[in-house]
Amino acid sequence: MFLSYFTEQPMSSYPDEEGRKAGYTSLLFSNKHFDPVEGSRLYNERLAEYMLADEVGFDGIMVNEHHNAPYCMQPRITVWASILAAMTKNAKIVQLGNPLPMYDSPLAFAEDIAMIDMISKGRLISGIVRGAGQEALALNANPAYNRERFEEAHDLLIKIMTEDGPFSWEGEHFQYRVINPWARPLQTPHPRIWVPGVLSNETIQWAARHRYPYISLNTPLHLTGQLWQTYDDAAREAGYEPGPENRGYLLRVHVADTMEKAEEGARQFMWMQGQFTGLGYPYWVNPPGYGSEARRLDYAKFANAGVFTSRAASYEDQIATHEIVAGTPEHVVEQLRVVLETCRPSILMLWGNDGNVSHVDSLRCIELLGNEVLPALREIGDELGLHSPFELDSPISLKFSPPESLSVSR
């Protein structure tokens, strides 16, 4: 299995009563409520936590990107990935992902990816996303062109990473007179690409056609099988038989020394589900033009199944359905076995801490995950045949034979 650590990096030090008073804490919630002193503390605490995740044996550290909201302090995915490339030693750096349609230069992404891959000595996974509707509004990107910009930017990104320059590009949305970057990835033909998402059948099918693993973001267990069926059908149409190595799953998991302490920390996952933060309006998430007719039908289907409601399901309900897993290491392993047997993903992202979980408790959670939970999950993965994509593929190719001082992670 491939086991990765994740946190949304919440800006938990802000006056949440102001958010409740306004009725929203995203997009238009004033940044006058941001405290840079507290922000600096939180950034540095997160870095220490990532360093510990690397030390205790996580295969990867996942980073993402969101804007204009206190639930996430990662407004530029390449910045954190660059820091981790230099500071960590073993874990893959998992970008989930670069929001291709939101920015005007896929070439800049290609150069960033190449630098990060070289500095990390080949540890980058350069995931890509369309980006949520709210991000389009925050970055002034036209949501009506989101998917076609995503697909064109992807094709251009691959060409930049795999073909020698100079060449030009005259597309519908991107035009370059000269493309000839001197920063090129260490991995060949390019770093792996993974695609995260929640419910869009179009994105799932697109990922399957390109043979990219699809990472399901905390979807309910009883509905996740539908996503895999959509992926599997598209993969077979594309001419290959998919397996667990094509499936990833992100799950909120908090571990502590006692059940009581674990519940205290796990209840903080509700912090970004409308109880304290993450408040917004539906048309910010899904602005006009962002989704196709097919996607609107998918959205309605999931909404009728209770996935999207005006408020999140209760903590107790989410514990009962394994959307949140919390407890001592032994209890968490027992609950995660159910998840693995049900979803059968070879890629598991453990979302360990959120909200106002303290730095001390976050560190302890990571320590317990690494020392006690991950070894047990690897045994279960072997038992269920959930082999990491890195186990099934040959080692990455290098453009040169590195000196002894350059240790490339396999």
**Please, are residues 410 and 390 in contact by the beta-carbon 8 Å criterion?**
yes
End-to-end CA distance of the chain: 14
Confidence band (pLDDT; 50, 70, 90) for 295? low
Q: Classify residue 103 by its DSSP letter.
A: S
Residue 121 has pLDDT above 90, yes or no: yes
Q: Which helix (H) or strand (E) holds 349?
A: strand 347-353
Q: Which helix (H) or strand (E) holds 153?
A: helix 146-162
Of the two residues 62 and 133, the one the predictor is more confident about is 62
pLDDT at 352: 96
Burial of 403 per CB tally in 10 Å (0-12, 13-18, 19+): exposed
**C-alpha separations of 154 from 20, 158, 179, 291 in Å:** 39, 6, 15, 19
249 - beta bridge partners?
216, 348
**C-alpha separations of 394 from 94, 388, 389, 410 in Å:** 19, 12, 10, 9
| Per-residue pLDDT tens digits for 208-251 | 999 999 999 999 988 899 999 999 999 999 999 999 999 999 99
C-beta atoms surrounding 177 within 10 Å: 8
Residue 199 has pLDDT above 60, yes or no: yes
Q: What mean pLDDT do residues 339-367 have?
A: 97
pLDDT at 291: 80
- Averaged pLDDT score across all residues of the chain: 91
324 - beta bridge partners?
252
Q: How far apart are CA 274 and CA 337, in angstroms?
A: 29
Confidence band (pLDDT; 50, 70, 90) for 153? very high
Domain ranges of the chain: 2-396
Q: How far apart are CA 210 and CA 285, in angstroms?
A: 26
217 - beta bridge partners?
250
Assess if CATH 3.30.420.40 describes domain 2-396: no
Residue 65 has pLDDT above 70, yes or no: yes
**Please, are residues 68 and 134 in contact by the beta-carbon 8 Å criterion?**
yes
Task: Give the torsion sign (CA, 339, 345, 346, 348).
Answer: negative
The owner of tokens 């976050």 is 362
Residue 257 has pLDDT above 70, yes or no: yes
Give the list of residues 6+ apart from residue 380 with CB closer than 8 angstroms, or none: 333, 336, 337, 340, 386
Q: How far apart are CA 202 and CA 128, in angstroms?
A: 15
Residue 308 has pLDDT above 80, yes or no: no
C-beta atoms surrounding 283 within 10 Å: 12
Task: Indicate the pairing of strand 167-170 with strand 175-179.
Answer: antiparallel
Residue 188 has pLDDT above 70, yes or no: yes
Confidence band (pLDDT; 50, 70, 90) for 350? very high
Which pTM was predicted?
0.92
